[in-house]
Every structure is written in structure tokens, then in C-alpha cells.
Structure 1
Amino acid sequence: MHQPIHRDASLPANAEADMFNGGPPLRLLSLWGRFDPTHQHVLRRATIVVCVGWLPLLLLAVVSYVNGHEDVWRAFWSDASVHARSLIVAPLLILAEAICIPKLGATAQIFRQRAIVPDSEVPAYEKAVRSILWLRDWWVVEAAAVVLAYVIAALVMRNVPPTFLPDWHRGDGTLPLGRSSASWWNGLVSLPLLLVLLLGWLWRLFLWARYLLLVSRLKLRLVVVHPEGAAGLMFVGYSLRAFGVLGVAIGTIVAATELAHVWAGAPVGPDQLGFVALGTIVAVVLVFAAPLLVFFRPLLRCWEEGVVLYGELTQRVGAALEDKWMRGPPSEETAEPLSTGDFSATTDLFQSAGNLYSLRFVPIDLNSVIALAVATALPFGVVALALVPFDKLLQHVLSMFL
């Protein structure tokens, strides 16, 4: 279990690597005594989530079938959304901890490894890291996540009647709100469990955004002519790839809902599915890329300083080169221009200075954006293949580009 971090305590070794390894429901599990957040046990926890969130629903559906309610059994098996949430999304949210958390921690370590945080700013940087560690272990967040999850589940149970849901939610009148036992298990266990996992990732995203915000306020050692085009900060943009598993999970929730509507008889065509997929992809990319916007002001300030400094340097060097080789009197040295290094040195300087004018004010990597978008789109591709005959799907895709 993590040791609580005081805001003024000394910083543990490699604190950044473990900075995001917390949040709901990891602390609750550690208090339960079954799991240690420093050893994530993702496969065990993913299996337990399936056994708790989905298996009881299956057993209750089997009981309904045995009792002669075959329609309940069929309705349960044809509800793609419940299977996607409990069999795919919930385990993915846990498995993402083993993929995303280490990558975010490794990204955070680079700020000091590459001396982007200068020695003069180390105390302020360590204070920022301590504040993130303190927030990570704040028990109020764990409690609030559970309470909020049950409030949302209660509102859904109270305000969405079973008649608006698949038939397996409808009871025989023996239980409150006209719901079946499977519906009650879904509302009291399966749905809150999924919501706690989602809220946990929302909290980690907040911690990541706050960390980047605090770092962006420091006087960072940026290199405006860095060849990667973001003054040495492009490694932060690569962090978008770490959220690919979460993109798959979110895409699965939305895509499975559309598939459930189709299986229920709703007219969902390729165009509507495409618009829903596009909206989901754009939303996911914007949410996970938004924290990178905090570097706009530091990069803009770096660019403005670079324009002045490199502008003066290139002007001075260029003018000296012209005065010596083009406007000055001939000499033995100027008689053989290819034997001198003046031109190559000046060319190297001008090429480096040219990087200044292609600087990105937000360190977003296009390939990382594409990777996240493709990951989010994958579930919609599976749904499209399941709904539309391949020849019609191919014709529709080709019509979009021709």
C-alpha cells in the first residue's frame, strides 16, 4: 500500500514513475487487504470484475429460463451493451492500468532526465510532484467516487423505467420498480462497479493534467530549434498513445449501444453509425489531448525569445559572410571559397534557425493522434462488419473517397 505523502515531505526515489498509480478503486482494494496498489494484479482483478459484474447476471438469466421465462433469456443474450460493458469494458479499464500508468510515469521522469527542469526549478518541481502524490492518495476521492457511482446508478434505476430497457430488466412484480432480480444486480453492482472504474480513470486524467499544468508554470529549459519541432517537449505528445486502451474501452461502450439498438429493431444505418463513430473519436482525442494545451504559453514565449535571439545571430553571421565573400576585396582566402568552412557552418546555423519557424505551440504528435483515433474506431469497425454485408460496406467506404 502507498504510504501517505505529506505536501512538505521529502520526495521518494523515482516518485514520478509511481505518480499515477492510484485513485479509485485501488485504495479501496488495499484497505480491503486483498491487493497492493504497487503490484497491480490486473489479470486477477479483471477476472474478479467479470465474475462480480457479469456472471451473476448470467446465472439470474439462467434461473429465469429454468422458471419458464425464455423471453428473458433471449433478451439477455441479445443485449450487446450489457455484455460489452461487463465482459470487455470493465476488464479493459483494469488492464489499462498496466499499460497507461507506467507510460505516464515514464513520460514524467523525462523532465528531469533531460534537464528540462533546471536546477533552480527543482524545489518547485518537487513540490508539484508531492502535491500530485498527495492528491493521488486522498481518501476523499475514493469515497466520492463510490458515492457518485451509486447516485448515478440510483438515478438511472429510478428515472429509466424497465419498459425503455431490454426485456430482461422487467420483473414479475415481486421486486420494487417493476424490475427483475438481474436488473437489480445490474443497478446495485454491475453499473456502479463500471462507473467507479471510469471515475478512477477520470481522476487519473485530472492528475495528469494538473501535473502538466504545474510543470508548464516552471521556467523550463527549452530549446527552440530542437529538431522534433516542439522545443524538446514532443515526448509529452507521445503520451497520447498510452491512452489507446481507454480509447478502445470508450469506443466499445458507444459501439455496443448502437449494436444493441440494431438488434432491438432500431433503424441504424452505416451513415448514422459513421457519424456516431466520428463524434466519439473526436471527443476521445480532444479529452486526452486537452492537457497538452497547457504548454501553449511556454512554447509561445520560447518562440518569441527565439525569434529575437536567432534573428540577431543569423543576421549578424549572414551579414559577415556577405561582407567577406561578396562585398569585400579579393584575397587569397576568398579566391578558393570551397576550401573554407564558412559556408557550411553558416548553412548549418541557418538550417537550425529554420526549425524555429516550424515550432508547434502545442506538443501534439500527429501519429499519436492517429493511433488513439484508430484504437477508438476499432469497436465501430467490428459493429459495421456485423451489421452490413461486406460488399455493401466496401461500396460505402469507397464512395466516401471517390
Structure 2
Amino acid sequence: MTGMSEPGQSDASSSSEFPIFTGGPLYRLQQRIRVIRPGERRLGLAALYALLVAWVPMMLLSAAEGLAIGPTRLESFLMDFEVNVRFLVTVPIFLFAEAACGDQLRSIVRQFEHACLIAHEARARFAQVLSDTVRLSHSGRAEMAVIGLAYVHSLIAFVYVLYYPETTWRLPLRDGRHVLSMAGGWYFLVGFPLYSFLLLRWLWRITLWWRLLRQISRLELRISPAHRDGAGGFGFLSESLSAFTLFVFATTALTAGGMADFIVYEGDSIAQHQWEIGGLVVFLLLLIAGPLLAFIPRLYEAKESAVFQYGALSSRHIQRIDRKWLTGHSLEEDPGVDFRAVAHMGTTMVAVRQMSVIPLYKDDVLKLLIVALVPFLPLVATLVPMDEVLNLLLKLVL
């Protein structure tokens, strides 16, 4: 049964290593090309390689075909906001974010043992759950499946462009018919699958994080309803939101890039996309914060039980105070009676009643929402006429 925290030291930590982002075929490839060295991840070099593999060839091929700045906006590679944001911003950040996210998730997993939140009889199962999660994250079969899905995604994107009503730099008009350009060929065979692979790889690891927390929530846990973190000792789980901030930023930046094409070139207003933005932000919040909801039933059960347990304990203390001061019992007859204990019990009861059954802090949610919305700020600026912006700047300067 879920109960209050017990003293004691955890066993040798099975969570001292939680390499959810450090394994698999892609990780081994990065080791071979010396992007990853013992104790060092050269993330800048990884991002550079990604640009050299994806964006640079498309830029050079489009320039060779006269499509870097083509006859129309849609036939100009360098004027395509969405594509350039995808490879100059989103792909590098996906790579950069892996190390930061892995370190933060490792710290969160360690806390379960460091804070003795797993009951002794459940520690072997806890270690097995961690081992299974790492094994799945390093699975070569899973990574091959992700690569296959990435190319299916690229094929869908190709079919969409194939039936697009206007000519684009991917499929320019040649001799009266649409022909796949060399830059377009590289985009669908190399560039887009690389982006899709990294995105799906992130989603796979987020799925594993969901699975891990769901399984941990079913173990025998030591919940302390009176804990000062206001979440039974599980408030540290809220830190997991910050682990995914870069992923969220990269995702919304890509969406903002796609909207920029319509706002800058088609005259759309960002207000026309408000529901799209809101829906994406809510989806990302649920995707990242959703795993924490698995702990709600256990925290609710512990809180309800503690309200009665601490209530009974408080009643016994008050009755002892009454016997001592109202009925004339001597101190020797009841030496444990103390007003300070009653006052402390009152503070504890307040903490128990105020305990949140959702291990999530508003500040962490707010930070995630701000990061998600930052890429849209340049688009919001388009609502203000440029002459008004210039006049405001002149007033500030003069």
C-alpha cells in the first residue's frame, strides 16, 4: 500500500546511467566519424555535417539550375522559408537537444532512487524497467523502422508536391512539363528523410519516456503527502518539461517558417493561423507533460489516505492537550504533550490538504509555452505597419 516516506538508503543505483540518447546505429555512426568521442559530444560538428549533407547540396544544385533565386517565388530555393528553417534551424537543434535532454532525464530518473521513492521490494523491477527502456532506445530494428517511416514520409511529401497546382523549385517546368530538379531529387532522397528521421527518432524516445513513467507509476512507491514540494515528493518530475524545450522550439520554429511563406508572400495575417498555432502548442504541451499524468491515481490515493491518517493523529494530540490543561492531568502522566507538536501537526495537515495530485508546476508549464511561442514573434511583428515601427524607433532614438 502507498504510504509515507520511510528512512533508509537506496541500493547501488541502477539509474546511474540512463543512456536513452546514447546508443543505436546513428550514435555508432557518429562515433566512427569522430563526432562523438569518449566523454565528449561534438554537437557543433554534428550540426555542421547535417548541413553539409542536407542543405548545402540543395543550395548548390539549385544555384546550378538557376533555382536558387528563380523566376518566381515558388521556384526559388532561397526564398522558401519553411525549407530553409527546416535545415538551418530545426535539424541542427534536434541534434543539439539530444545531449541536454538526455542529461536532464538521467537526473530525473536518478532522483527516484536518491530520494528513496521506490519501495525496497520494487527496486529490482525498477531496474528492469530502466534496462528495458534503454534496450528499446538502442534497438537497431527500431531505428531501421524509423528510417523506413522517414522515407514513407518523404514519399508522401513528394506526392503532395507532385499534385501541387503551381510550379516549385522541386518540380520546375521544363519544355511544358514538370520535371524533378536535381535539388528536388536531393531534397526527397536525402534532405527530407534526414529531417523526418530525426523527428521520428525524437518521437520514439518521447514514447519510451511515456512508457517508462507509466511503468514506474505502477510500482510500489513511497509517497509523502506532507512533502514540502506540494506533490508528495514527486514534484521533481515537473523538471522533465525543461528537458524537451529545445525540441519544442525546433518544432514550432518549423511551423512558423511554413506560416512565414503565406504571411510574407501571400499577404496572410498571423491572426488567420491562430487556431493552428494554439492547437500545435496544446498538442506539444500534452505530448511533453502527458507522461506525468500517470502518477495522478497514486498521488490521489496517497493524499486521501493521508488526510484521514493525519487527521486522526492530530485529533489524538489535541485530546492529550485537553486532558492536560482542561482536566488537570500532570505532566508526568502524559509527558509527550506539547503545544509545539500540535502546531506542527496543524502545519502538516495544511500541507497534506494542499498537496497537488499532478506533479507539475505552473512555472514549468509557462516556460514551455513561452519557448513554444517565441518563433512566432517575428510573424506577430508583421501586424504592425513598418512605417509605425520606424516612427517608434526614431522617437526612441531622438
**Letter in structure 2 aligned against 1:359:** M
Equivalent residue, structure 2, for 1:63 = 64
CA distance in 1, matches of 2:252, 2:113: 35
**Change beyond 3 A, Cα 1:12–1:40:** farther
Equivalent residue, structure 1, for 2:105 = 104
Assess if the C-alpha contact under 8 Å between 2:129 and 2:212 holds in 1: yes
**Letter in structure 2 aligned against 1:295:** F
Assess if the C-alpha contact under 8 Å between 1:19 and 1:132 holds in 2: no
Assess if the C-alpha contact under 8 Å between 1:16 and 1:129 holds in 2: no
- 1:148-177 per-position Cα deviation (integer Å, ceiling 9, x unaligned): 000111122124326446631233448x96
**Letter in structure 1 aligned against 2:43:** V
**Change beyond 3 A, Cα 1:276–1:219:** same
Assess if the C-alpha contact under 8 Å between 1:64 and 1:72 holds in 2: no
2:236 matches 1:235:
yes
- 1:256-276 per-position Cα deviation (integer Å, ceiling 9, x unaligned): 1110112331x4224224333
Assess if the C-alpha contact under 8 Å between 1:225 and 1:356 holds in 2: yes
Q: RMSD of aligned C-alpha atoms?
A: 3.1
**Letter in structure 1 aligned against 2:372:** T
The Cα of 1:18 is off from its aligned counterpart by 3.0
**Change beyond 3 A, Cα 1:60–1:274:** same
Indicate the SS of the match to 1:246.
Answer: helix
Equivalent residue, structure 1, for 2:5 = none
Indicate the SS of the match to 2:221.
Answer: coil
**Letter in structure 1 aligned against 2:327:** G
- 1:95-146 per-position Cα deviation (integer Å, ceiling 9, x unaligned): 0012111001111011111111132221111111111121122111110010
**Change beyond 3 A, Cα 1:220–1:268:** same
Equivalent residue, structure 2, for 1:278 = 278
The Cα of 1:17 is off from its aligned counterpart by 3.4
- Give the one of 334, 339, 348 matched to 1:343: 339
**Letter in structure 2 aligned against 1:296:** I
Assess if the C-alpha contact under 8 Å between 1:64 and 1:70 holds in 2: no
Indicate the SS of the match to 2:381.
Answer: helix
Alignment gaps of 5+ in structure 2: 1-10, 390-398
Assess if the C-alpha contact under 8 Å between 2:303 and 2:352 holds in 1: yes
In the alignment of these two chains, the number of paired residues is 375
2:218 matches 1:222:
no
Q: Please identify, of 255-264 and 158-167, the stretch whose mean Cα deviation from structure 2 is larger.
A: 158-167
The Cα of 1:221 is off from its aligned counterpart by 1.2
**Letter in structure 1 aligned against 2:312:** E
Assess if the C-alpha contact under 8 Å between 2:47 and 2:95 holds in 1: yes
> Identity, % of aligned pairs?
26
Assess if the C-alpha contact under 8 Å between 1:27 and 1:142 holds in 2: no
Alignment gaps of 5+ in structure 1: 1-10, 334-339, 394-402
The Cα of 1:74 is off from its aligned counterpart by 6.8
Assess if the C-alpha contact under 8 Å between 2:15 and 2:113 holds in 1: no
CA distance in 1, matches of 2:152, 2:108: 35
Indicate the SS of the match to 1:169.
Answer: coil
2:298 matches 1:298:
yes
**Change beyond 3 A, Cα 1:346–1:72:** closer
Equivalent residue, structure 2, for 1:8 = none
Q: Please identify, of 96-105 and 66-75, the stretch whose mean Cα deviation from structure 2 is larger.
A: 66-75
CA distance in 2, matches of 1:73, 1:91: 25
**Change beyond 3 A, Cα 1:37–1:172:** farther
The Cα of 1:16 is off from its aligned counterpart by 4.7
CA distance in 2, matches of 1:320, 1:299: 31
Equivalent residue, structure 2, for 1:260 = 261
The Cα of 1:370 is off from its aligned counterpart by 0.6
TM-score by length of 2: 0.85
